């Protein structure tokens, strides 16, 4: 790789819309390993690809530790095993997300019902000219 194939720390933050603190943390927990020259850091294609995977994993709700372990598998056991583990992780996360969706749908239904009930009470109060205080 030539120097033009690498991007700076600042450019990496901008490219992925992350804070410097986030990027430094990903390095600290060994999700990323930029090339270092003095105090400067430079990110090549490998680190850019890893960052895309990290952010996608976060969007899907995976923990950073899950992502770190999954990325380690590639280096230790290769692509095929990494794909197998990915399927297991994806299945587990799909169950979690499905449960969260169900809980959110229940909360939305409950909130709508309470809103409608309160709206009906307010309408009756307005029709009857009532101006009652209640807790």
| pLDDT one-digit tens code per residue, 50-107 | 999 999 999 999 999 999 999 888 888 888 998 999 999 999 999 999 999 999 999 9
* Model confidence, pTM: 0.75
Residue whose tokens read 């850019």: 48
pLDDT at 65: 92
Question: Phi-psi bin for 37: left (phi > 0), alpha (psi -120 to 50), beta?
Answer: beta
User: What is the reported pLDDT for 52?
Assistant: 96
Question: Which residues are paired to 36 by β-bridges?
Answer: 41
Backbone angles phi, psi at 110, to 5 degrees: -65, -45
List the beta bridge partners of residue 42. Answer: 8, 35
Q: Is the pLDDT of residue 129 over 80?
A: no
pLDDT of residue 128: 81
pLDDT at 132: 59
**pLDDT the model gives residue 79:** 87
Look over the chain and give the mean of its residue pLDDT values, rounded to a whole number: 92
């Amino acid at each position: 790789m030539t120097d033009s194939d690498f991007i700076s720390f600042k450019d990496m933050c901008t490219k992925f819309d992350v804070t410097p603190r986030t990027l430094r943390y990903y390095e600290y927990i060994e999700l990323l390993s930029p090339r270092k020259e003095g105090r400067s850091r430079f990110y090549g294609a490998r680190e850019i690809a890893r960052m895309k995977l990290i952010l996608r994993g976060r969007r899907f709700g995976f923990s950073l530790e899950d992502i770190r372990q999954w990325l380690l598998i590639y280096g230790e056991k290769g692509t095929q095993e990494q794909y197998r583990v990915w399927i297991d992780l994806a299945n587990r996360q799909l169950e979690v997300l499905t449960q969260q969706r169900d809980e959110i749908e229940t909360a939305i239904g409950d909130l709508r019902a309470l809103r409608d009930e309160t709206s009906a009470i307010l309408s009756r109060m307005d029709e009857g000219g009532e101006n009652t205080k209640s807790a």
